[in-house]
């Protein structure tokens, strides 16, 4: 067990490798109650969110979601989050556990009339079911009472214990669902999922597998791969930035970077051959010179090789570029790769 954003959470249950393979091959279930749930509603909700976030909520139909960034004035990332449009003028933002207070304080300080902001993180629990058999488990669990939401969509279901928001989203690269509901019902729902999934090979998964799974997909982790000093453009996330919007916090810097290019770029890399696993804050070398520090690293359970990410100078941010990673004073060869590192 470790402390994570003020939560006492398991790094693993049966073991990171075992849990990782369960998600890639069958099913895994994650307790994501630490994630923050912030509701935004009111007649000005859409306009206000478009001023605060990089993506464009006007593109969302009711029940749809998008990945987005909350930026500071310098274009740096305060947090990355998912925006779900629940109703015409009601949104759910799912934010990182460690950033709930900071996000809400930032939003409060920019609040406008016509917007209601409710941080309901404490009353909500969350469970993610991820893996290729997720749809099968969904059908069993709801016994045909509701149809599966489409990829990136969310819907509401009235369970005996609590209303449940069910989204077809996740952080693993596999098919899956994320459920958000009243916290007091968490043990009931958790146990029911494990029971219904038992013969499908479902495994409870901890933070360790969550990290290896997301890193194989090159999904950035805030606090590691994202920071207030790096923009979404530098993180290679311009797809989630709508510069057609005339105004949003941080826009100026991002527009400038689109025009002139970025100095550094977040790239994934793969070690060559058998090496110790790379980890965060290891020095990256190119032609004998230090050029960067790793932001994430692990051994990929699927590929059986060390992988990681780093912000390298743009001139080196090319696929197959040869680099070296310093691990305890020895340098090991690696190559820059295309995203994602795990392809199906």
Residues forming the site for other proteins (CB under 8 A):
11-12, 15-17, 20, 208, 212, 274-277, 279, 298-299, 301, 328
Q: Which is nearer to other proteins, 330 or 338 (CB)?
A: 330
Nearest to 228 by CA among 202, 206, 197, 249: 249
Q: Which is nearer to other proteins, 149 or 308 (CB)?
A: 308
Q: How far is CA 97 from CA 34, 38, 83, 189, in A?
A: 5, 11, 15, 21
Cβ-based neighbours of 151, under 8 Å, separated by 6 or more: 168
- Which pair of structure tokens corresponds to residue 209? 């597998």
Cβ at position 14, least distance to other proteins in Å: 9
Q: Which is nearer to other proteins, 16 or 77 (CB)?
A: 16
Distance CA 212, CA 296 (A): 10
Q: Which is nearer to other proteins, 20 or 196 (CB)?
A: 20
Nearest to 63 by CA among 130, 157, 179, 156: 156
Q: Which is nearer to other proteins, 246 or 329 (CB)?
A: 329
Q: How far is CA 241 from CA 114, 130, 165, 236, in A?
A: 25, 27, 26, 10
Cβ at position 207, least distance to other proteins in Å: 9
Q: Which is nearer to other proteins, 72 or 280 (CB)?
A: 280
Cβ at position 30, least distance to other proteins in Å: 16
Cα Rg, the chain, nearest whole Å: 20
Cβ at position 280, least distance to other proteins in Å: 11
What is the distance of C-alpha 287 from the center of its chain? 33
The most distant pair of C-alpha atoms in the chain lies apart, rounded to whole Å, by 63
Distance CA 207, CA 218 (A): 16
Cβ at position 17, least distance to other proteins in Å: 5
The answer, yes or no, to whether the previous bond of 340 is cis (omega within 30 of 0) is: yes
Cβ at position 33, least distance to other proteins in Å: 21
What is the distance of C-alpha 212 from the center of its chain? 12
Nearest to 204 by CA among 3, 20, 1: 20
Q: Which is nearer to other proteins, 42 or 276 (CB)?
A: 276
């Amino acid at each position: 067990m470790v402390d994570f954003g003020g939560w006492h959470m398991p790094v693993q249950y049966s073991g990171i490798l075992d849990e990782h393979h369960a998600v890639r091959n069958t099913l895994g279930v994650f307790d994501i109650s630490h994630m923050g749930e912030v509701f935004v509603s009111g007649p000005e909700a859409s306009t206000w969110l478009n001023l605060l976030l990089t993506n464009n909520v006007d593109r969302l139909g009711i029940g749809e979601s998008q990945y987005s960034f909350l930026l500071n004035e310098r274009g740096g990332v305060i947090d990355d989050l998912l925006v779900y449009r629940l109703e015409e003028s009601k949104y759910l933002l799912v934010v990182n556990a460690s950033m709930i207070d900071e996000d809400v304080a930032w939003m409060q300080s920019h609040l406008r009339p016509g917007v209601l902001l409710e941080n309901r993180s404490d009353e909500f629990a969350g469970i993610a079911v991820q893996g290729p058999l997720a749809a099968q488990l969904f059908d069993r669990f709801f016994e045909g009472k509701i149809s599966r939401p489409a990829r990136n969509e969310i819907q509401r279901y009235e369970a005996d214990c609590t209303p449940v928001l069910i989204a077809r989203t996740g952080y693993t690269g596999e098919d899956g669902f994320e459920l958000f509901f009243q916290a007091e019902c968490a043990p009931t729902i958790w146990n029911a999922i494990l029971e219904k999934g038992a013969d499908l090979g479902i495994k409870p998964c901890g933070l360790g597998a969550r990290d290896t799974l997301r890193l194989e997909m090159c999904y950035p982790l805030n606090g590691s791969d994202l920071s207030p000093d790096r923009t979404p453009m530098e993180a290679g996330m311009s797809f989630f930035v709508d510069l057609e919007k005339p105004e949003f916090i941080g826009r100026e810097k991002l527009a400038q970077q689109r025009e002139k290019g970025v100095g550094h770029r977040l790239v994934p890399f793969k070690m060559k051959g058998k090496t110790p696993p790379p980890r965060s804050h290891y020095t990256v070398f190119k032609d004998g010179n230090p050029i960067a520090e790793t932001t994430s690293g692990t051994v990929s359970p699927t590929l059986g090789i060390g992988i990681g990410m780093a912000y390298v100078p743009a001139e080196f941010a090319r696929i197959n570029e040869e680099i070296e990673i310093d691990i305890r004073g020895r340098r090991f060869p690696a190559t820059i790769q295309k995203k994602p590192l795990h392809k199906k």
